A and B are shown apart, each in its own frame.
Chain A
Amino acid sequence: MKTMMVSDFCAMKSALVQMAGILAAAGIVMAWAMDTAVGAAAAVGAMAPFMYLFSVGALDEQNGWERFRLTLPLTRRQVVFGRYGSTAVVAVAAAVGGLLVGLLVTAVADAVGNEGGLLAGLSSAQNPPEALVCSVVLTLTVFLVGAAVALPLMARFGMTKATRFVPLVVVLAMVLGIAALDTPLSSGVLAEWGAWVTGDVWHGALLVGGALLVAAVLYGASAFIAARLYEQREF
């Protein structure tokens, strides 16, 4: 697993450095343009791991690397777990990066003290730290769920074929999710749930933490499915 993570980071080193610079700058611009640090932090936290996931998947198919990698003393299970590990590390780092961008933006806005002016929406009063934390944690949650769907498909079909299936699966999941929520019964439950969440700040924190926990469990379970699929694949 360590070998796989090292190889992933070696292959993606320059891209990750570039990505960090570009996304930090993009996050600041987005915060200014959207007049919200919370949204910018979430955007940075979401973009980096998705870019990583698809870039590192594409590198697998370059030069026959995926095939050659299997000649190293690595089990296929280690290959898959290593990929899940490196992706999770990048996702957490991106969440921290997004949070830092948000905090930096609010700190600058507070220091400039532009009340009622151009930077008013970026102040820490409008973007409290707990809101920034919630936004990046929820982004991380969404990413983990997305990766839990995409990675087994990539393990089974390879990046090129998987890109045909991933959007289909995501759209189907969204349609089914909306259909499930769009019933009188679920509307009532959602309304009650919404009231409970907004009733206390700790309820919100519990919801966000719980969602992250569920996503992490899903991500872990997905790793075992992906490993099984990858073990059956021939190159």
Chain B
Amino acid sequence: MEYLVKIDNLEKCYDDFSLHALNLAVEPGAVVGFVGANGAGKTTTLKALLGIVEPDGGAVELFGERVTANSSALDRLKARIGVVLDTCAFPGTCTVKAVGTIGRAAYSGWNADVYEELCQRFDLAPKKKVSELSRGMGMKLTLAFALAHDPELLVLDEATAGLDPMAREEVLDLLRAFMEDGRHGILMSTHITSDLEKIADEVVCIDEGTLVFDLPKDAIADTAGVARCRAAELETVLESGYFGAGETFFTQHGYHADLLVPDRFAFARTFPHIAVERATIEDYMALRLRGEHR
């Protein structure tokens, strides 16, 4: 299969931080959520993917072609990618219309009609300057810019941060429409995990530069659960051998504990007296990253 993005054993070292042998892939038709705490290495990964930083090891493939920073292949393939970073990055002196002019100069596949239509939809007046836009409006402008050249891959870094719930829903609708034809893909780094519950197919989590889990969203949001145990029940579960070594993640809060269970239905059959709820991506991530581990 030709992946839109395939990252193998990516490594990048800074004085105080390193990415360790990170693997990640986005296939056509998939929305991959990329989560982790602040400073986990998400943005560094995206920068390496886009050639903004040079990896120290590993390989990055875009649309089936291996790329390196400053390679001509990367610059050709970037025309097939739409990028939304965590801020509206256009110079404050540019108008909405001028941003379209930059897009027309940059992308051979630029569609001015699509750009104008999206700007209209987002209430972005052509003469409005970037410096006059709120954070939310700025993110909408960046999204309009990213979509107007019909990219095959969208790379979003906190794209919905700063948007009100209605605007976020509007953006998610736009992303759903983008995904309709099955040839597109999205790599979406975000802290708003509820957005991923609505749109993602797969969730990749990293922490301190290391891959923690890479799972289909349904394995988290449908199958996994959080068992709400009393302290004694937790001990019973831990001693039962139900979980293999190193597979138990839990947090204790005084007399009760939250225990991550990969299959809540199987767990409920084995321990019918323990309440188990559906896990959210946030629960799953918090327990995997910050829970006690045995």
| Closest residue on chain A to residue B104 by CB atoms | A6
Of A11, A63, A75, A235, which contacts B47 at CB under 8 A? A235
Chain A residues within an 8 Å CB radius of B53: 234-235
Chain A residues within an 8 Å CB radius of B223: none
Please determine whether B98 and A13 come into contact, CB atoms closer than 8 angstroms.
Answer: yes
Of A59, A64, A73, A75, which contacts B93 at CB under 8 A? A59
Determine if B24 is an interface residue (Cβ-Cβ < 8 Å): no
Q: How far is the CA of A167 from the CA of B88 in the complex (A)?
A: 32
Given A231-B70, A235-B47, does the pair A67, B102 have CB atoms closer than 8 Å?
Answer: no
Chain B residues within an 8 Å CB radius of A71: 50, 52, 78, 81, 83, 85, 155
Determine if B211 is an interface residue (Cβ-Cβ < 8 Å): no
Determine if A127 is an interface residue (Cβ-Cβ < 8 Å): no
Chain A residues within an 8 Å CB radius of B50: 70-71
Q: State how many residues of chain B have any CB contact under 8 Å with chain A.
A: 32
Render A43-72 as a binary contact track against B, CB cut-off 8 A, 1 for contact: 000000000000000010011110111111
Most A C-beta atoms less than 10 A away, residue of B50, B79, B90: B90
Shortest Cβ distance from residue B76 to the other chain A in the assembled complex, whole angstroms: 7
A-facing residues in B139-157 (Cβ within 8 Å) = 155
Shortest Cβ distance from residue B72 to the other chain A in the assembled complex, whole angstroms: 7
Q: State how many residues of chain A have any CB contact under 8 Å with chain B.
A: 28
Shortest Cβ distance from residue A18 to the other chain B in the assembled complex, whole angstroms: 11
Determine if A12 is an interface residue (Cβ-Cβ < 8 Å): yes
B-facing residues in A12-30 (Cβ within 8 Å) = 12-15
Determine if B57 is an interface residue (Cβ-Cβ < 8 Å): no
| Closest residue on chain B to residue A231 by CB atoms | B70
Q: How far is the CA of A11 from the CA of B91 in the complex (A)?
A: 6
Render A62-94 as a binary contact track against B, CB cut-off 8 A, 1 for contact: 111101111111111000000000000000000
Shortest Cβ distance from residue A28 to the other chain B in the assembled complex, whole angstroms: 27
Render B74-92 as a binary contact track against A, CB cut-off 8 A, 1 for contact: 0110110101010111111
A-facing residues in B60-111 (Cβ within 8 Å) = 70, 72, 75-76, 78-79, 81, 83, 85, 87-94, 98-99, 101-102, 105-107
Mind listing 21 A-B residue pairs with CB under 8 Å?
Answer: A7-B105, A10-B91, A10-B94, A10-B98, A10-B102, A11-B91, A11-B93, A12-B93, A13-B98, A59-B92, A63-B87, A63-B91, A63-B130, A64-B89, A68-B83, A71-B52, A71-B85, A72-B106, A74-B106, A75-B75, A234-B54
Residues in A lying within 8 Å of B, measured CB to CB:
2-3, 6-7, 10-15, 59, 62-65, 67-76, 231, 234-235
Q: Would you list the 6 A-B pairs with minimal beta carbon distance, nearest first?
A: A68-B89, A6-B105, A11-B91, A73-B79, A10-B98, A71-B83
